[in-house]
């Protein structure tokens, strides 16, 4: 049996039957039709690559487009004949109701000798055909617009397509149609629009056309004027539809047509539609029109609340001034926009403000920045410190004393802290911020600038107790020298000469820092306290200071012995000695019932509390290298201490701050030095697992300075030893406990954790 023609098979598949001379049309079984279709020979490669016939010598090159460069997900299929479909079938398929895809049907229809007539016949329903081809997503809708421009340039049809592209696809208007086709389609309908033979386009469609024109380059600026006037007349000049017209002005001003942009700006102003946005500029500027047009765009965008577009326009304004010359009013507008961005406190806005300020400071064409305290106040201290370090010196006014002190307390690097101190020394009305800066300098061991600042400040001001102790601690820490000891004594004497109310407490603390042999005046002061207030009051002062600063316990024991007082609790002294590396002090420890004071002070054995007993046992095991047992004993001590104070170690709301619940008493004085000693011992023995156990137990109950310093040393040791698995197993728990500490300890330990995590490649939550 001879094979049927493919067109006959298509009729049979559609249920129309085969036409014969002697019978009426009959329907065929679907299975039989499919079998016959499968036996059809495939088109040859030569047939598939046959050139597409065209009735016009005009190519798509004049449209500025490559017919094979479909963008996005559009797939350009080779044009091929569909021998089984006639023209009627292809036309029916363009509506998407037949077996063929609209794109394949349209490409096959283009090969018909009657394609021009068919294209004319499609004009009344061109909108439906375009929508069908666009949905098919094979790029045939671009071919349809090109064919209309080349063969049947109907203004009404082209207007319908432009409106459809702008109206029916609000999420991405104009993105699927090539920019060159949009430009040529609008050029084709301009005469009809001018004669008013066509209704005007909507502002949305005009915005799509404007974007295409600006992307097409300099060859279409004349058409851009026409679009601008249409937009300016049709828009209501709100934030929704006013920006496309301003974008045209900005585009013209950036491409050497600022004077023309200024003339275009007069049109909406004359209509009374544009807000008062002209502003001021310098008449002597080399490009006043450019500055005026860009300034108007910035002011309008800020007025409408179009923040991101205003920031982009500000960037253009900064670029123009950097390229030509700086205008005072324009620079004032830029700084106003930057300040407005910081007021909103949104992270992207503040980040843009910082980048723009740095760009102004780094460009020598601009004058040095005025005070930017409003930016420092808008960001956290660490971010303000990063900005301050990046800012070139002498390119901005120094921060105010308040902001300088705020950054100095954020633990900056020594170089940045030294620069902050220099700025503070030159600032006016800086006296209230000097004590805080002295404390920061002393903590960073920048003793020379601290002493210089104090020497210039002391003549008209008085030290407070906190600053005095911070300076004395800095001068007596580490290697001692006669010069530093003399400077520390001078500080203490200056403080004692003031009218402070807590002289005795500060004097005792300074006495312990300096050492009993350092200053006879301090010893005489303490003897006077013993005589005036009695032995019990002096004893309470020694005990309280030992409880608050356990690291001074061994010195306080010496002071107490010199004045015939009972030394602080022996376990506290022992733990502090171990934390200082003097593990031999444990030789004075007696049995489980008590501690023989021995070298600490003369007297009988002192009974141990359960917490002290557990801590002494933990220290003994650590001295023997049995860190697992030491960690267990220390955890038991912390748990029992929390139980006595009524603190739930597993509670979310309790134990915050320094691990102490408000109103429940303080942590036993023996725990902080014991924790510090165990952490340092674990780091020395490289027992990381047990060390993390000690660290978690300690952070649940205390955030004392000695514990924090020892924890930092331990974490640094973990990082250097590259103990990644152990760190990853405990980092989350330690981080959660660190966040409960007071701010200065929190920042230090969190920074140490982040540094170790980066080095070990561990992701912190």
pLDDT 10s digits, 577-632: 788 787 876 765 443 333 443 333 333 445 788 898 899 999 999 999 999 999 99
- Kindly list the distances between the CA atom of residue 178 and the CA atoms of 115, 135, 436, 577, in Å, as whole numbers in the listed order: 23, 15, 64, 80
pLDDT tens, residue by residue, 18-76: 444 334 445 455 455 445 554 544 433 333 333 343 434 334 444 444 444 444 444 44
Rounded CA-CA distance 51/370 in Å is 69
Q: What 8-state DSSP symbol labels residue 611?
A: H
pLDDT tens, residue by residue, 653-711: 444 444 444 345 678 888 998 999 999 999 999 999 999 999 999 988 888 877 888 88
Flag whether pLDDT at 345 surpasses 60. yes
pLDDT value, residue 114 = 81
Mean pLDDT for all residues in the chain: 75
Give residue limits of the domains in the chain. Answer: 6-41, 235-366, 595-760
What is the average pLDDT across 421-440? 89
pLDDT value, residue 33 = 47
With beta carbons less than 8 A apart as the criterion, state whether 653 and 683 touch: no
Rounded CA-CA distance 211/594 in Å is 87
pLDDT tens, residue by residue, 76-113: 444 445 555 666 767 776 765 556 777 777 877 787 77
Rounded CA-CA distance 563/527 in Å is 7
What is the average pLDDT across 534-562? 73
pLDDT tens, residue by residue, 460-486: 777 888 888 888 888 887 666 778 888
Q: Cβ contacts of residue 561 below 8 Å, gap of 6+?
A: 567, 601, 602
Supply the DSSP string of 698-718, one letter for each residue. HHTT---HHHHHHHHHHHHHH
20: Cα within 13 Å, side-chain hemisphere: 10
Closest to 738 (Cα-Cα) out of 659, 675, 674: 659
Burial of 377 by CB count in 10 Å (0-12 exposed, 13-18 middle, 19+ buried)? middle
What is the average pLDDT across 566-587? 76
pLDDT value, residue 551 = 64
Flag whether pLDDT at 254 surpasses 50. yes
Q: Which two tokens stand for residue 524?
A: 């005489």
How sure is the predictor about 445, in pLDDT bands with cuts at 50, 70 and 90?
confident
pLDDT value, residue 35 = 54
- Kindly list the distances between the CA atom of residue 453 and the CA atoms of 136, 420, 438, 448, 556, in Å, as whole numbers in the listed order: 77, 12, 8, 9, 31
Closest to 273 (Cα-Cα) out of 238, 310, 230, 227: 238
pLDDT value, residue 11 = 56
pTM of the model: 0.48
Helices (H), 592-704: 610-623, 627-645, 656-659, 671-685, 688-699
pLDDT value, residue 5 = 53
pLDDT value, residue 739 = 82
With beta carbons less than 8 A apart as the criterion, state whether 452 and 467 touch: no
Q: What 8-state DSSP symbol labels residue 18?
A: B
> Could you tell me which residues are beta bridge partners of residue 741?
657
- Top-confidence residue, 502 or 71: 502
3-state DSSP call for residue 145?
A: helix
pLDDT tens, residue by residue, 221-253: 677 777 777 777 666 666 666 677 777 777 777
Question: Percentage of the chain with pLDDT > 70?
Answer: 70
pLDDT value, residue 663 = 40
With beta carbons less than 8 A apart as the criterion, state whether 704 and 658 touch: yes
Helices (H), 482-605: 482-496, 503-514, 520-533, 535-548, 553-562, 570-579
How sure is the predictor about 264, in pLDDT bands with cuts at 50, 70 and 90?
low
pLDDT value, residue 160 = 84
Closest to 621 (Cα-Cα) out of 550, 670, 544, 685: 685
pLDDT tens, residue by residue, 716-725: 999 998 899 9
């Amino acid at each position: 049996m001879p094979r049927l023609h493919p067109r006959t098979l298509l009729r049979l598949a559609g249920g129309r039957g085969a036409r014969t001379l002697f019978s009426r049309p009959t329907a065929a079984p679907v299975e039989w039709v499919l079998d016959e279709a499968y036996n059809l020979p495939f088109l040859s490669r030569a047939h598939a690559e046959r050139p597409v016939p065209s009735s016009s010598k005009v190519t798509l090159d004049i449209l500025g487009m490559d017919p094979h460069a479909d963008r996005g997900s559009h797939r350009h299929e080779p044009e091929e004949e569909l021998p089984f479909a006639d023209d009627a079938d292809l036309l029916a398929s363009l509506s998407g109701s037949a077996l063929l895809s609209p794109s394949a049907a349209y490409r096959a229809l283009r090969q018909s000798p009657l394609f021009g007539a068919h294209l004319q016949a499609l004009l009344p329903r061109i909108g439906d055909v375009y929508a069908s081809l666009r949905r098919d997503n094979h790029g045939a809708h671009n071919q349809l617009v090109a064919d209309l421009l080349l063969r049947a340039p109907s203004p009404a049809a082209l207007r319908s397509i432009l409106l459809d592209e702008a109206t029916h696809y609000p999420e991405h208007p104009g993105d699927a149609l090539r920019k060159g086709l949009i430009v040529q389609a609008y050029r084709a309908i301009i005469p009809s629009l001018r004669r008013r033979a066509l209704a005007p386009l909507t502002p949305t469609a005009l915005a799509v056309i404007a974007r295409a024109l600006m992307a097409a380059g300099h060859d279409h600026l004349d058409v851009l004027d026409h679009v601008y006037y249409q937009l300016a007349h049709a828009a209501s000049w709100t934030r929704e539809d006013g920006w496309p017209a301003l974008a045209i002005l900005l585009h013209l001003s950036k491409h050497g047509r600022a004077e023309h942009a200024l003339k275009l700006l007069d049109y909406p102003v004359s209509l009374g539609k544009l807000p008062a946005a002209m502003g001021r500029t310098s008449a002597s500027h080399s490009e006043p029109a450019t500055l005026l047009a860009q300034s108007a765009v910035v002011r309008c965008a800020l007025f409408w609340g179009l923040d991101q577009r205003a920031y982009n326009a500000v960037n253009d304004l900064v670029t123009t001034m950097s390229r030509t010359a700086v205008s005072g009013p324009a620079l004032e507008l830029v700084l106003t926009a930057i300040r407005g961005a910081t007021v909103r406190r949104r992270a992207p806005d503040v980040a843009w403000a910082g980048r723009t300020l740095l760009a102004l400071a780094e460009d020598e064409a601009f004058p040095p920045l005025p005070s930017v305290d409003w930016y420092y106040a808008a960001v956290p201290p660490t971010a303000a410190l990063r900005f301050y370090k990046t800012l070139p010196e002498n390119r901005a006014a120094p921060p105010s004393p308040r902001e300088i002190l705020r950054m100095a307390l954020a633990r900056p690097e020594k170089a940045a802290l030294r620069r902050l101190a220099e700025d503070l020394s030159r600032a006016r009305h800086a006296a209230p911020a000097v004590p805080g800066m002295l404390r920061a300098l002393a903590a960073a061991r920048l003793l020379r600038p601290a002493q210089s600042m104090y020497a210039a400040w002391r003549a008209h001001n008085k030290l407070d107790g906190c600053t005095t102790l911070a300076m004395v601690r800095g001068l007596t820490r580490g290697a001692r020298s006669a010069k530093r000891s003399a400077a520390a004594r001078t500080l203490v004497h200056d403080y004692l000469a003031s009218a402070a109310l807590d002289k005795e407490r500060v004097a005792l603390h300074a006495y312990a820092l300096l050492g009993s042999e350092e200053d006879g005046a301090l010893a005489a002061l303490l003897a006077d306290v013993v005589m005036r207030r009695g032995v019990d009051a002096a004893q309470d002062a020694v005990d309280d200071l030992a409880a608050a600063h356990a690291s001074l316990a061994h010195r306080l024991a010496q002071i107490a012995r010199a004045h015939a007082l009972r030394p602080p609790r022996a376990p506290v002294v022992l733990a502090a000695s171990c934390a200082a590396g003097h593990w031999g002090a444990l030789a004075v420890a007696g049995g489980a019932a008590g501690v023989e004071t021995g070298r600490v002070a003369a007297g009988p054995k002192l009974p141990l509390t359960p917490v002290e007993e557990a801590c002494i046992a933990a220290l003994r095991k650590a001295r023997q290298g049995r860190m697992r047992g030491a960690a267990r004993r220390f955890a038991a001590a912390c748990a029992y201490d929390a139980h006595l104070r009524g603190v739930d170690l597993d509670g979310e709301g309790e134990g915050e701050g320094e691990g102490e619940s408000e109103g429940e008493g303080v942590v036993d004085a023996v725990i902080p030095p014991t924790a510090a000693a165990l952490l340092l011992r674990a780091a020395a023995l490289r027992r990381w697992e047990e060390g993390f156990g000690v660290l978690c137990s300690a952070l649940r109950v205390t955030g004392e300075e000695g514990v924090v310093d020892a924890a930092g040393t331990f974490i640094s040791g973990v990082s250097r030893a590259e103990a990644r698995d152990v760190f990853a197993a405990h980092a989350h728990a330690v981080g959660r406990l660190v966040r409960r500490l007071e701010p200065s300890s929190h920042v230090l330990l969190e920074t140490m954790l982040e540094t170790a995590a980066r080095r070990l490649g561990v992701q912190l939550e």
